[in-house]
Structure 1
Amino acid sequence: MSADRDIDEWLAERGITPLDSRTRARAALEEAKIINPKKARMSEQKLERAEAVLAERFFRVCSAPACAQVANASGRAPLQVEPRTYCESCGGSNNRRAVADFVEACKRKSVRRVVIVGGSPAVREELEEQLAGQIELRMVDGTERHTADKARHNLDWADLILVWGATELHHKVSAHYTGGPPSVSRKVIHVTRRGVAALLEAAITHLKR
């Protein structure tokens, strides 16, 4: 005799706990003849197929607007999950969620080129990886020699410049990007909080003004 699983418990293990989401997921499994609407359990032999049906039909998503945008563009039906760790877009990560929100804010304001001045090597690498293919990005090491000519070139090139204080950033480097004329200073944001999410949230606030 094969073992079986409680259907609602199995769905909950995948973050499908909201009532509407659970109802829709069960309906999809019933339609695929994987579960019986009159039964509360299903055979473990059917679990792999059940997983495949849900993955093909639904995009599991949290309540963040940026994640909803990703879900809507996926070609699959959005399916609300809780907690956010089950979201296919951000996986519950504040950083990944902030990246998605930032990219969306940049699209709305036609911002394509961004310069980030400062930050640790690990954080710069993370930003380059997360924003690759979505934003043209230049990272400036705040601890190395940086000439005024290079800074002017970045100022002319960029749509948005984030000067990240409270990180590995020497004053001689940041000074190249501050105190310019209004046409330049309007696109320069000074961020004093640490963390990728804080950096991008400050940029999003600026872009919404």
Structure 2
Amino acid sequence: MSADKDIDAWLAEKGITGSDSRTRARNALEETGLTSARKVRISEPKLPRAEQVLAERFYRVCTATECQQVARASGREPLPVEPRSHCEHCGGSNNRRAEVAFLEACLRHRVRKVVVVGGSPSVREELEAKLGGQLELRMVDGTERRTAGKAQGDLEWGDLVLVWGATELHHKVSTHYTQPGTPHRHKVVHVARRGVAALLEAGITHLER
């Protein structure tokens, strides 16, 4: 004899907790014959099919504007979820949302090579892990001596240069990239805020101008 599960509890596990979202999800399950309006429980063998029905029809999304835009463009019905960790676009992470948006912006503007000047070793490793598979990255340690020649090589190589001023970055290093008069100044972005999301959002803003 198969076990069964409370439908509302199962929906809540997926972030479908609001009354409107829950009603819409239940209606989708009822339309496909997986349950009926009078039932409060569903047999566990039906759950994989129920998950498929919801995934094909709905895009589970948080309230962030960017996530909402992605959901509307997905071809599926946006379905509000709570908490944000259930959002299909960002998974509740500002960094994740910024990473996806940054990669999309780079694709639109044909940016393939990105130089990041500054940042802690752990953050540089994170950027490599999250972006390195789709972009060519050159990470410059802002605490080590950088010659003008090497900096010039970075400027010539990169399509976008992010100078992360709010992090571990010596002035003698940053000035090689930000000094007035360089013919590559148009591709240099000075980022004054900490955090991966702030870094990538500054890059997006620059590319979308």
TM norm structure 1: 0.81
1:119 and 1:142 in contact (8 A); partners too: yes
> Once superposed, what is the RMSD of the aligned Cα atoms?
2.9
- The aligned residue for residue 131 of structure 1 is 131
**Residues of 1 paired with 2:64 and 2:108: CA distance?**
17
Contact 1:7 1:41 in 2 (8 A): yes
**Alignment partner, residue 114 of structure 2:** 114
- Cα deviation, 1:55-102, whole Å, max 9, x if unaligned, reads 465443334455457667878665442221101332101111111222
CA distance in 2, matches of 1:124, 1:73: 32
8 Å contact from structure 1 (residues 113, 157) kept in 2? yes
- 113-122 vs 17-26, greater mean Cα deviation: 17-26
Residue 52 (structure 1) shift: 4.7
Q: Which residue of the partner structure matches residue 97 of structure 2?
A: 97
- Distance in 2 (CA, whole Å) between partners of 1:141 and 1:169 is 8
Give the Cα–Cα distance (whole angstroms) in 1 for the partners of residues 177 and 15 of structure 2: 45
Structure 1 segment 50-199 matched on structure 2, within 5 A: 50-55=50-55, 58-64=58-64, 66-67=66-67, 79-181=79-181, 183-199=183-199
User: Which stretch of the first structure deviates more once superposed, 5-14 or 119-128?
Assistant: 5-14
Between the two proteins, the alignment pairs up a number of residues equal to: 209
The answer for unaligned runs of 5 or more in structure 2 is none
| Letter of the structure 1 residue corresponding to residue 165 of structure 2 | G
State whether structure 2 residue 16 is matched by structure 1 residue 7: no
Q: Please say which of residues 25-34 and 168-177 is displaced more in the overlay.
A: 25-34
Distance (Å, rounded) in 1 between the aligned partners of 2:168 and 2:127 = 15
In structure 1, C-alpha distance between the alignment counterparts of 2:129 and 2:171, rounded to whole Å: 27
Q: Deviations over 1:104-149 (max 9, x none)?
A: 3333333332110011111011111111333322111112232222
Secondary structure at the aligned position of 2:174 is classed as helix
Amino acid at match of 1:178: T
Report the CA distance between 1:4 and its aligned residue.
4.1
